[in-house]
Amino acid sequence: PHAQSKQSLDDWQQSIRHLSLLFLILSQILMYCSFGEQVLQGGWDVDHAMYSTPWYTYSQKYKKHLALVIMRAQRPVEITVGHYYSLSLQSCELIIQNIYFFSMFLNQINNKSKSAALE
């Protein structure tokens, strides 16, 4: 009984360590993705702000420059990770889903190996 309670305590401590590590990883991912989301939203704000100016009262040269800025601002400004992931809240959700599915997969493999060892 004593060995079993020690094993249970070790499992509990290991679970706490894993949850702490998971919390740190998820908070880092959320921090980077929320910054990327702010950059993405800021790009759209430039487009709206430029168009909201009284551009029709300015010179033709200024209108051309303003049109170029507006056209460039219509393409999203984004921070990417390895040209695969755009840092945004949507990609954060996708990353968290993948982490969850992968952890469930590893948990299932671990449970199968434990049950095979008991047989």
Is 13 part of any domain?
A: no
Domain count, the chain: 1
Domain that holds residue 70: 33-118
pLDDT tens digits, 61-99: 999 998 898 888 888 788 888 887 788 999 899 989 998
CA-based nearest residue to 94, from 83, 82, 86: 86
pLDDT at 119: 66
pLDDT tens digits, 98-116: 989 998 998 889 888 777 7
CA-based nearest residue to 62, from 52, 54, 75, 76: 54
Is 88 part of any domain?
A: yes
Is 22 part of any domain?
A: no
Is 101 part of any domain?
A: yes
Q: Global pTM?
A: 0.66
pLDDT tens digits, 4-26: 666 677 778 888 998 899 899 99
pLDDT at 71: 87
Is 6 part of any domain?
A: no
pLDDT at 93: 93
